[in-house]
Amino acid sequence: MKSGIAALTPSRFTAVVRAFPPAPRYWVAYSGGCDSHVLLHLLSVLRAQLPGRLAAVHVDHGLSMDAPRWVAHCRRVCRRLSVPLEVLRVEARNRRGESPEAAARRARYQALAELIAPGECLLTAHHRDDQAETLLLQLLRGSGPRGLAAMPARIPFAGGMHLRPLLDFERAALRAYARREGLEWVEDESNFDAGIRRNFLRHQVLPLLRQHWPRVALTFSRSAAHCAEAAQLLDELAAMDLEAIGGRGAPDSSPDPSLDVAALQALPPARRRNLLRYWLRGLGLPQPQAAQLQRIEEDLLGAGPDRQPAVHWAGVVLRRHRGRLHVTQPLPPFDASIVLVWSLSRSLELPGGNGRLEARPVQGRGLAARRCGERVQVCFRRGGERCRMAGGRHHSLKKLLQEKGVPPWIRDRLPLICVAGEVVAVADLWRSPDFEADSGEQGWEIHWHRRSPASA
């Protein structure tokens, strides 16, 4: 053990275990490598201190020819430790612009999220050197305080918690523990591929830094903690700003989350950018880069009131309409000339990512069942449609949608419910008075379930 590096022992780790949140089960993400083996072994020794059961989970990405050997090794170790093991197999196909490593990580955590039951904990063996690598990677990406905060010791995950109990220990301490306990582990050959950026930092950059700054991992860990505090304060400020400007989940005629443009413009630029990032993160959407934030400032906030500009980035479309910023998701094209037959007793999936229609039986309101029958037609705007409103007059649907402030990107995707070629309802926004159910009469109440922006 190098001088100055804290030793890892069961007695020292007991305090960490006692600080775990109560949970019915603690899942150790066990790759078969040294770090996760050390964590699993420690917890098996201290399992009497755990409020819940101990279990292990191994994710087989199928990317290495050695994967079957790794699974067999994990099974042997877990039998020896009397720890139940779950093996998950995933397909880690990378998306366009996504590295194989990022794809494997995404697939791994998605599978783990499906495994973890509400209230359970996932434990990973990230340590102080991993934290240093993560901080360097984020710094080289130009990340702000949230990115530089690196990996938190605990974070909500899949209805439970994700814990990283080894963040106060360095890799050398884990290796010393493994040798002392006679542990055996497998080595993933990709860990030595210097073409992978994290490996380049691990094997070439950090050893060089340690020659001049021996406690570099501890120093970086301290910096990450400072950034985490700063990020928390920025979030608290953004939450106050969001409440002050009245950010809401939906404008009057659209479920798209939105922000008031004038209120945003009244904020200083730095607080405005901080609020936008906080708001989008709260919706589960990808964060804008500096270039997109600049375009938001110039193209959206700086646009004239008669314009309807939009800024796009991966998974997000941010638009301006009637003095508000609306966030939506990119939707695939669809054939607006399609006509669907809808049996009202069943829900109807709409094409082009346009959500789902549902009709609920009610009494004394909704579309009169006697007029509609069991089946209706569903179509979309193609131009020239008219619908009958209160007062008995037919109105141009285009003019009606404009008057009601329905955003342009929604208008052509509104499902129109038709009977014998007549528009009797526009989604769940309006109904023709001629087709309203009378008091005591059976009716159908229409509900249009649109996809949320975060589901992209």
Interatomic CA distance for residues 454 and 451, integer angstroms: 8
* Confidence band of 249 (pLDDT split at 50, 70, 90): very low
Q: What's the mean pLDDT when you consider all of the chain?
A: 87
CB 147 within 8 A of CB 7: no
Taking residues 146-159, report their average pLDDT: 91
- One-character DSSP codes across 254-282: --S-EEEHHHHHTS-HHHHHHHHHHHHHH
Kind and range of the H or E element at 57? Answer: strand 53-60
The one-letter amino acid code at 49 reads Q
Kindly state the tokens that stand for 255: 């479920």
Predicted local confidence at residue 184, as pLDDT: 93
pLDDT, one tens digit per residue, over 432-450 is 888 888 888 999 999 998 8
Q: Is the pLDDT of residue 3 over 50?
A: no
* 104: confidence class by pLDDT, cuts 50, 70, 90: confident
As a whole-number percent, the residues of the chain with pLDDT over 90 amount to: 53
Place of tokens 């814990």: 163
Beta partners for residue 363, in sequence order: 442
* Mean pLDDT, range 280-284, rounded to an integer: 88
The predicted pLDDT at position 257 comes to 85
Lowest mean pLDDT among 11-15, 52-56, 170-174, 400-404: 400-404
Q: What is the per-residue pLDDT for 252?
A: 38
Q: Which of 389, 380, 450, 442 is nearest to 415 (CA)?
A: 380
pLDDT at 334: 81
Q: What is the dihedral of CA 233, 234, 236, 242, to 10 degrees?
A: 170
Residues in the chain: 456
> Is the pLDDT confidence value at 79 over 50?
yes
pLDDT at 348: 93
168 pLDDT above the threshold of 80: yes
Task: State the pLDDT at residue 384.
Answer: 66
The band of 96, judged by pLDDT with boundaries at 50, 70 and 90, is low
Give percent of the chain above pLDDT 70: 92
For residue 456, the model assigns a pLDDT of 38
**Which has more confidence, 113 or 302?**
113
| pLDDT for the residue 251 | 38
Residue-wise pLDDT for 19-66, tens only, equals: 999 999 999 999 999 999 999 999 999 999 999 999 999 999 877 788
For residues 53 and 25, what is the distance between their CA atoms, to the nearest angstrom? 5
Of 65-79, 110-124, 141-155, 188-202, give the lowest mean pLDDT range.
188-202
User: Does 106 have pLDDT greater than 60?
Assistant: yes
Q: pLDDT category, 455, cuts 50, 70, 90?
A: very low
Over range 273-288, report the average pLDDT: 91
Residue 211 has pLDDT above 50, yes or no: yes
Q: Determine which of 94-108, 353-367, 413-427 has the lowest per-residue pLDDT on average.
A: 94-108
**Res. 114 pLDDT band, cuts 50 70 90:** very high
The closest of 188, 194, 191, 199 to 67, measured between CA atoms, is 188
